[in-house]
Structure 1
Amino acid sequence: MPFEGTITSIHQMTPRVKQFVIEADREFEFDPGQHTTVQFERDEPGEDEDEQVVRPYTPTSTPAANTFTLAIKRYDDGTASVYMHDRDPGDIVTFGDLDGNLTLRNADEDVVFVSTGTGITPMMAMLKQYLETGTGEVQFFYGEKTQEDLMYRETLDQLVTEHDRLSVVYSLSEEDWVGPTGHVQTHLEDRLDGLERDFYVCGVPQMVVDTKDHLADLGVPDDRVFSEGWEEGEIEE
């Protein structure tokens, strides 16, 4: 059932991404990696009824009573992203129950998280869970256009200093810099010491499909690669 949440703080993470801290009106449970939905009525000029807008967003936090965080990128032609970026602390927003297939399967296995853009949001929640409960090595691959676009870079860099078993690779597709460039998934075999581990992938559908195909070409079994599972249906032939 939908529930209401009050925005308690807003932080500008990048020029186009804001982080929202939400205090819900009830306690709830979810697995890190699952998503909620932002729900609101949009006025449609000339229409008799308002349009119901429902858009998914994934908390970057692990479960904590009735509080969670969302990182939302604004798209000028977006509906829900513009709506959220126009909110202020104290505003009340309607959310849907948390659900989804992208969750940590086995905390005893070495893991690799591969994400681009706002696909990092479920990965941040699962990474925090893994560092709390996991027993193996964890590699975090994150692709963006430029350094300015990197979300949670300070958090990730801090986690690396705190956890010897964590390594992070950033790859930029539209900026020359000292680090890796191009599609982030192309750096997997060069940066990993073996492929016997679980892979979690999230980003735009084409990236997810390409990464899963790339892992298959490298010999990684399908049952060790996890995504939301709907991405193939979004790719135009």
Structure 2
Amino acid sequence: MQIIRTLPILIIFSLFTTLGITNSTKAQSIDWGITGGMNISSHVNKFWYIEDDIELRLRPDIAVGYNVGFIARTKLTRILRLQAEPSLILLGAKYDDTFRLRGTEFQTDSRTELTYVQLPLLLQLTTAPEEQTTYGRKRSRTTFHLSGGLYGAYLLDARFQGTNTGAPIGIAFEGEFSNDVISQYSEYDAGAVFGLGFEYGYYRKLGFETRAQLSAIDSGDNPQQPAFKHRNMAITFSIYVLL
């Protein structure tokens, strides 16, 4: 797909565009920060896994992951700002499902773990109360904001792991497994992000934001099963500090 081939260029272009805007606006400074938190994620459509004589079609459920990164932000107007956020994020899904192998039914308690380097590029609309002073000193203030934008991501690692249980010869069996499934996924992902949050502080700011993100492209890449139309979806919860 053309969008997959051009995605690395778009990511680099987005980063340089952000830095270019901030540098060209001399009257405005860049705010830098760090962010971290957790997320709940899953997949759109079933997970397909094929190896030798095993073929699994598993219904995805919610899995818990993490997200950490950096923030670079500049103001465009008094209530509008632009933010780039290079991050490391763990997405995936859990599976509590059954499958059949050589006539025997097994139960799997497993999950996929997809580790991405991700770059959201966001526009944020924020409230901006008047600055107040007390004895000549600026007070801390709380603002609220809405975020919206796009993200691009590169897949670093993909694993399918868990525990299978069953009784293939009438005897209870339980086995753990961990498989590298990066070949089943595209290297790249891209989609839309929407969120809301608040900040407290004047010089150094402490903030919280929750976001929803959804892949806009099929990130499955399984040559054995072209019907594997994998897409990520997640809700993130982050705490951040602007220094």
- Coarse TM-score class (shorter-chain normalised): under 0.3
Length-normalised TM-score, structure 2:
0.24
Higher strand share: 2
Bigger radius of gyration: 2
